[in-house]
DNA sequence: ACCTGAACACCGTTCAAGT
DNA sequence: ACCTGAACACCGTTCAAGT
């Protein structure tokens, strides 16, 4: 006979993981404290012990999770910028259910830190206006992913009534979306170099 | 003594207008059928008569409102594209409360029509891959506005407890945001011409 | 320290009923 | 045709209580 209490205790990580799964799978509007509790085999109120500000804290944590991207420093600033943009795109695409939060919530916590880190790395690699560049790169990635995810048909009725959604394709994007992204990214880097 | 019934009858337009005001002013999460009813001096249930699919239809209508942008056809395709991007940016900036919907919901209804119209206008003006161009332009505008609105501090606690929010600045953006937008737009148009 | 149960105010939506 | 009132299932959050 199984124990009534969850075998592994609750944690911030497990809560976020479960929340991401619900959002990606059923949509943000169906991510509910009670449903989240169910998924974790716990009463909804247990979540408040790990995320004291409740649902608002959960939303912040989700945006942070998908937005706090790091890459190794080496190489030219172009290499660094390219790697960071690719990684950011991948992170956002992986969790379309919380894209609205990522595009909309101002960076906080680990997300804000990652931003400063990337700015420093680009400056270190010799780029003059690193802050402006990070702004432009972020805007590029945001726009590209927003259009990609819109076109992927995510966020639509999901068939008749809440049946789960299949990710657009395994391990990356459709080849033309990838090519578009790389093309625009190269153009943007050229533009930034000419500033 | 005032009449109990609203002097001017409910309509789709008035509902959308009131909903935009609530979303821009208090945030999307506080846009509630009941609050919407209050703002319109009507019971919440009256809204369903004008938007049969209820809140889902309301969300669609809001995204549509802020997304269905038209400009006059004349001039080079560059002129047309530039005008359309400026108008789209202005429309999105005007209603930061529903930006998440606009960036996230696939175009439907008048929004989808406006997209086709703009594609046709660019093709008519001599641009080879007009569909790809509209995709790129849309991505550019989306990303730019997302970063702008994030930086404007909208969507934050709004002070202590739900006090209203002041638009970033009257009649347009901060001058450097405008300059950044124009700079990137010019670069993008150059890139599209070289395809 | 960590989780539960009951409670409260609020939410979306339905449906029959009013005018 | 247009709106209301009452009702239902569900939601976020609190708080005292259990272990």
User: A184 Cβ partners below 8 Å, 6+ apart?
Assistant: A140, A144, B136, B139, B191
Q: What's the pLDDT score for residue B3? A: 40
Instruction: Kindly state the percentage of chain B with pLDDT values over 70.
Output: 88
Q: Would you call A104 and B180 a contact, using CB atoms and an 8 Å cutoff?
A: no
Alpha-carbon distances, residue A179 vs A139, A144, A182, B106 (angstroms): 18, 12, 5, 22
pLDDT tens, position by position, A141-181? 999 999 999 999 988 765 434 445 555 544 556 779 999 99
Q: Is residue B46 part of a domain?
A: no
> What is the pLDDT at residue B38?
97
Q: Provide the pLDDT for residue B159.
A: 43
Nucleotides of D under 7 A from a protein CB: 2-6, 10-16
Q: How far apart are CA A99 and CA A92, in angstroms?
A: 6
Footprint of strand C on the protein (CB under 7 A): A 5-6, 9-10, 37, 42-43, 45-46, 49-50; B 30-35, 44-45, 48, 54-56
In a domain, residue B35? The reply is no
DSSP calls for A116-141: HHHHHHHHHTT-TTHHHHHHHHHHHH
Is residue B10 in some structural domain? no
Tens of pLDDT, residue by residue over A93-110, are: 999 999 999 999 999 999
Cβ–Cβ below 8 Å for B106 and A153: yes
Q: What is the pLDDT of residue B155?
A: 84
Residues of A with CB under 8 A from a CB of B: 99-101, 103-107, 132, 135-136, 138-144, 146-147, 149-151, 153, 155-156, 180, 184, 187-188, 191
With respect to residue A20, please indicate whether it lies within any of the assigned structural domains.
Answer: no
Number of domains making up chain B: 1
Per-residue b or e along B26-46, where b marks 16 or more CB atoms closer than 10 Å to that residue's CB: bbbeebebeebbebbebeeeb
Whole-number Å distance, CA A38 to C1' D9? 17
In this prediction, residues B52-76 reach a mean pLDDT of 97
- Do B151 and A106 make contact, defined as CB atoms within 8 angstroms? yes
Mean pLDDT over each residue of chain A, to the nearest integer: 91
> Tell me: the pLDDT tens digits for A115-131?
999 999 999 999 999 99
Return the CATH number at B177.
1.10.357.10
Q: Is-above-0.85 flag for pTM?
A: yes
Q: Mind telling me how many Å the CA of A87 is from chain B's nearest CA?
A: 17
Residue A6 in this model has a pLDDT that exceeds 80:
no
The pLDDT value recorded for residue B73 is 96
Residues of A in contact with B136 (CB under 8 A): 180, 184
Per-residue pLDDT at B163 exceeds 70: no
The pLDDT score that the predictor gives to residue B174 is: 77
- How much is the pLDDT for B161? 43
Q: Range of B144's domain?
A: 62-194
Q: How far apart are CA A33 and CA A42, in angstroms?
A: 11
For residue B175 the two structure tokens come to 């001058």
| Residue A7's pLDDT band (cuts 50, 70, 90) | low
Contact (CB<8Å) A146/B150: no
- Comparing B174 with A140, the larger pLDDT belongs to A140
Domain contains A13:
no
Residue A2 domain-assigned (yes or no): no
- Give the Cβ contact number of residue A33 at 10 Å: 18
Is B154 a member of any domain? yes
Q: What is the mean pLDDT of residues B46-56?
A: 97
3-state secondary structure B129-187: CHHHHHHHHHHHHHHHHHHHHHHCCCCCCHHHHHCCCCCCCCCCCCHHHHHHHHHHHHH
The pLDDT score that the predictor gives to residue A192 is 96
* Separation of alpha carbons A71 and B16, rounded Å: 44
Eight-class DSSP state of B100: H
pLDDT above 80 (res B106): yes
Residue B42 lies in a domain: no
User: With 90 as the cut, is the pLDDT of residue A38 above it?
Assistant: yes
Contacts of B179 (CB under 8 A, 6+ apart): none
């Amino acid at each position: 006979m199984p124990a009534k209490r969850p075998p592994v205790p609750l944690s911030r990580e497990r809560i976020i993981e479960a929340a991401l799964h619900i959002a990606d799978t059923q949509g943000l509007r169906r991510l509910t404290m009670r449903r989240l509790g169910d998924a974790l085999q716990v009463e909804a109120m247990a979540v408040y012990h790990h995320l004291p500000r409740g649902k608002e804290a959960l939303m912040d944590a989700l945006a942070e999770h998908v937005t706090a991207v790091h890459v190794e420093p080496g190489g030219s600033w172009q290499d660094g910028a390219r790697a960071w943009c690719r990684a950011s795109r991948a992170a956002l695409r992986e969790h379309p259910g919380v894209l609205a939060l990522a595009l909309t919530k101002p960076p906080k916590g680990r997300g804000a830190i990652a931003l400063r880190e990337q700015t420093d790395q680009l400056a270190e690699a010799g780029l003059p206006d690193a802050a402006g560049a990070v702004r432009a790169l972020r805007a590029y990635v945001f726009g590209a992913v927003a259009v990609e995810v819109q076109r992927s048909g995510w966020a639509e009725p999901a068939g008749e009534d809440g049946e789960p959604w299949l990710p657009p394709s395994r391990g990356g994007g459709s080849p033309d979306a990838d090519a578009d992204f790389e093309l625009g990214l190269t153009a943007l880097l050229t533009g930034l170099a000419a500033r």
